[in-house]
Amino acid sequence: MTETHALNFEPLDPDESVHRSHQFLARMQTRRTVRDFSPRDVPFALIQNAIATAATAPSGANQQPWTFVVVRDSGIKRQIREAAEAEERENYERRMSAEWLAALAHLGTNWHKPHLEIAPYLIVVFAQSHGIGPNGEKVKHYYVSESVGIAVGLLIASLHQAGLATLTHTPSPMGFLAEILGRPAHERAYVVLPVGYPADDARVPVITKKPLDEVMIVI
């Protein structure tokens, strides 16, 4: 039988609801993906709270198929930078199609990834393709990439709310991350988030988000 307890629910009056949702929207609309980081240290509590927030995410069968590896060691950051740059160089110079490079051109990205060393923290998110039971047996996980994607959304929102900048970095292939960080075979890297304060002279490309009427259909 399913064990339950009463939902802990805070009722809000509609005006208060709309006000809060507006505030949250305005805050999230200021988030930008940042590539120019300051080396300035970040309170560790912000990293901890962001990961604790991410770990509240809904997940398939509540299996919470994620591991967040926090890297602050500069030697490991350097190893990650070197391996990522080697793969990315191959991507930009050989593996990415002309169509892909054209789609990216307005963002001004390239294979150089100094932010992987400059940002005080890297959060490397791993997806657990299956779990390990009490007797070492394989436990099937459901909706792994959906679950981890939702958790990463909450992670980015929390870090932004705390006044920190992030970059959503997906080097490809990402196998080197599990190797450098010593993760087990059932964990595959999902994303690397450099986290820190933006550099004083940080710049970002001019981009816009699609207007609501292009992304929302009400029937």
Q: Which is nearer to ligand IYR, 107 or 132 (CB)?
A: 107
Min separation Cβ 39 and ligand IYR, Å: 20
Measured CA angle at 32 (ends 26, 37), to 5 deg: 135
Task: Assess 35 for contact with ligand IYR (CB under 6 A).
Answer: no
Q: How many CA atoms lie within 13 A of 147 on its CB side?
A: 21
Task: Assess 106 for contact with ligand IYR (CB under 6 A).
Answer: no
User: CB of 182 within 8 A of CB of 124?
Assistant: no
* 176 vs 173: CA distance, rounded Å: 8
Task: Assess 104 for contact with ligand IYR (CB under 6 A).
Answer: yes
Q: CA nearest 115: which of 71, 179, 51, 176?
A: 71
Among 53, 63, 67, 109, binds ligand IYR (CB under 6 A): 109
Among 171, 194, 196, 198, binds ligand IYR (CB under 6 A): 171
Please give the biggest Cα pair distance in the chain.
58
Among 35, 77, 115, 169, binds ligand IYR (CB under 6 A): 169
Q: Which is nearer to ligand IYR, 56 or 172 (CB)?
A: 172
Which parts of this chain interact with ligand IYR (CB under 6 A)?
88, 104, 107, 109, 169-172
